[in-house]
Chain A
């Protein structure tokens, strides 16, 4: 197992370097100049030339690439062309916001999507249950997250005044309290800070989670349908096991493998979903940052963010592969 993990980690290194190279060249192939994007209609030819030189963009592409890769392997992604912040620092600050959003959305999607998928599969012959659930899935699939987000904001934030309109809460404060150990010293304050973060997180997580729940429910439904058509399920029923035991003991455990695959995919889908969710709910985060960086041709920031996204996806896929072995004893890694 350890050998397998190490081998996978080693394979991940060239994958990551490959992804970084693709991103580097893709950003350069993209038409548009960072200086023109920054200076807009105020740009004079002289100012543009100065800007290009100051940002080091006048150097040959190969030199820029070598410089970027050399710095990146030392985890130095450079500085944002636009705002001047070190990219690593910037990403470190944004990452927790995106991380908790993806996690919360995953919880919502799993809590809603998996049961809905299972019930929909088990009750597929009962149109009174199956149809509404399929309509729910269809709605979730067709509703863009920004539209649902605005609806939630209008209803829960504007009309009912139950949730804040913008922001991510004092997550920096929470992290600082955890790091400094103040969470044990001031548990009351810590609880309030956590509550504040959750208060800000609820609507975005519901919006993103609900749209993802639809995908999860459809995939869970197919997984369950496949499992319950297996011989061992028929055998379990034939030997007189009660339905609950058939579902929980036999079917659910066996659908975990395809379900884990879904979760692996889900992280990639959720990461892309954060772009719109963070924009509509005006939350800080990697998604919004990445889109702004690409629009502004802020090369270091966009490259840094995509590298982090790639790392997340590689890590999640690795974890999913590990979990296959945990849920299915037939799978072993050597």
Chain B
């Protein structure tokens, strides 16, 4: 019976996995996600560069603001 893959020592993994490993906090992951999604949304939704930047910034702000707001709303919940 072979051992499950997650028991394989790190050195036996492929070079791709050894090079690319990033442990992030929830906030950092949220920041990166919001940034890239905002860039694409701004680019595809609007026509002029100025409109794209403004809309992208609004989307980014909405992502972060709503996430933080929801976090604080859920903070008093004990579980």
Are both chains from one complex? Answer: no
Q: Residues on A close to B: CB < 8 A? A: none
Q: Residues on B close to A: CB < 8 A? A: none
